[in-house]
Structure 1
Amino acid sequence: MQLRATGVLLGDEIKALNIIASGAAEQCFKSASYDLRIGDQYVDPAENIDKKTGKVKAAAVILNDAPIVVPAYSSIVVSATKY
């Protein structure tokens, strides 16, 4: 399989490259994606990554019923759970 240098991976390419480490569910493969379910932990890199070392300063935060607001042009790292 020849991959493109840029762009989105197709579902078949995700399968072929074994990007999903274990427990991949067939129904989660879409034409240009793999659907993940967000788990119960997250890290906000803007608040928890040591800028000198690049390492996480604090343990992951457990999600509760409160919404998490992710500002535009920022990100969070979340755990994933099985489908």
Structure 2
Amino acid sequence: MEEIEGVPPQLTATPGMPERKGVARRQARVREILHTLPPAAQAAILDDLEGTHKYAVHEFGDEPTARHQRPVEDDAPTGAIEVPHQS
């Protein structure tokens, strides 16, 4: 199975054509709201917009979120589901 890293560009210009105007509009909108985001989000977004890529794809902080603090037993038994028989 092929693993996909990152988000593929959605507004890729046809080879030989100029960059699509939607790319610049999207980047302008992101830069307008950038100051409202947490510092870590700002750094990651600027990293992506500027193409410096200091952060690895899918790199998360060392602290687990509250949702992932408990180990999850993937092989836990499941109960039977009764299905009514149609006559």
**TM range, smaller chain:** under 0.3
Structure ID, larger Rg: 2
TM-score (norm 2): 0.22
Structure (1/2) with the larger strand percentage: 1
